[in-house]
């Protein structure tokens, strides 16, 4: 068997494996969908996935489909089940999703430092060294009367660097 024949045989074998994998995934999906639609209790092997969808639905209100799924799950399992998932009382929601959906604020010290650096860079009047405002900020550059000219100059300088 030469290299081309061996490569063709390997490709054929991989295609068969891929087809079997797709069929297996479809069978698992069909089985899971059947269980979700027919059983009155959430299947134990799907608790994390179902609870994660419910948890995310409350926090991603801009995705109406998640709310619809959550409402269907309320009808299927009951409001108590959904409430437990919404609050993650059983600690079954995917931890990566919890972390990504958490509303975390930045440390005020870091925010003040960034504001101070920006004010220094832009030469904005009215900033103390700790980032707090001493008076209303006047967005007028001290060395230039026309902010658009300054902005144009800075953009041109950045373009030259690239």
Q: Are residues 95 and 123 in the same domain?
A: no
- How much of the chain is helix, strand and coil, in % rounded to 5? 70, 5, 25
| 43 and 100 part of one domain | yes
Co-location of 128 and 93 in the same domain = no
Q: Residue 73 in 3-state DSSP?
A: helix
96 and 118 both lie in a single domain:
no
Cβ atoms of residues 43 and 81 within 8 Å: no
Q: Are residues 34 and 46 in the same domain?
A: no
- Reported as a pLDDT band with limits 50, 70 and 90, residue 104 is low
Same domain for 22 and 57: no
Residues 6+ apart with CB under 8 A from 67: 57, 61
In a shared domain, residues 56 and 77: yes
Q: 22-41: per-residue pLDDT in tens?
A: 877 777 777 777 777 788 88
Q: Using alpha carbons, select from 29, 92, 82 the residue that is nearest to residue 57.
A: 82
Measured CA distances, 62 to 66, 74, 82 (Å): 9, 19, 19
For the record, the structure tokens of 83 come out as 């409430």
* pLDDT of amino acid 69: 87
Q: Are residues 32 and 50 located together in one domain of the fold? A: no
One domain, residues 120 and 100: no
Domain count for the chain? 3
Same domain, 24 and 51: no
Q: Where are the alpha helices (DSSP H) in 39-146?
A: 47-59, 64-76, 79-86, 95-101, 108-122
pTM, 2 dp: 0.48
Backbone phi and psi for residue 68, each to the nearest 5 degrees, phi listed first? -65, -45
96, 112: one domain: no
pLDDT at 133 > cutoff 70: no
> How many angstroms separate the CA atoms of 58 and 55, rounded?
6
Do 13 and 49 fall into the same domain? no
Q: Tell me which residue range forms the domain holding 156.
A: 108-161
Would you tell me how many other CB atoms lie within 10 Å of the CB of residue 36?
17
């Amino acid at each position: 068997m030469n290299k081309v024949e061996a490569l063709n045989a390997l490709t054929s074998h991989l295609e068969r494996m891929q087809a079997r994998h797709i069929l297996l995934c479809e069978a698992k999906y069909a089985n899971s969908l059947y269980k979700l639609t027919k059983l009155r209790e959430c299947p134990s092997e799907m608790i994390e996935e179902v609870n994660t969808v419910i948890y995310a639905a409350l926090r991603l209100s801009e995705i109406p489909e998640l709310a619809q799924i959550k409402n269907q799950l309320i009808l299927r399992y009951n409001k108590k089940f959904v409430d437990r998932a919404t609050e993650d009382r059983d600690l079954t929601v995917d931890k990566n999703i919890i972390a990504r959906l958490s509303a975390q604020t930045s440390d005020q010290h870091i925010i003040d430092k960034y504001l101070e650096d920006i004010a220094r860079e832009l030469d904005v009047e009215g900033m103390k060294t700790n980032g707090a405002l001493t008076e209303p900020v006047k967005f007028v550059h001290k060395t230039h009367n026309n902010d658009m000219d300054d902005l144009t100059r800075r953009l041109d300088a950045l373009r030259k660097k690239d």
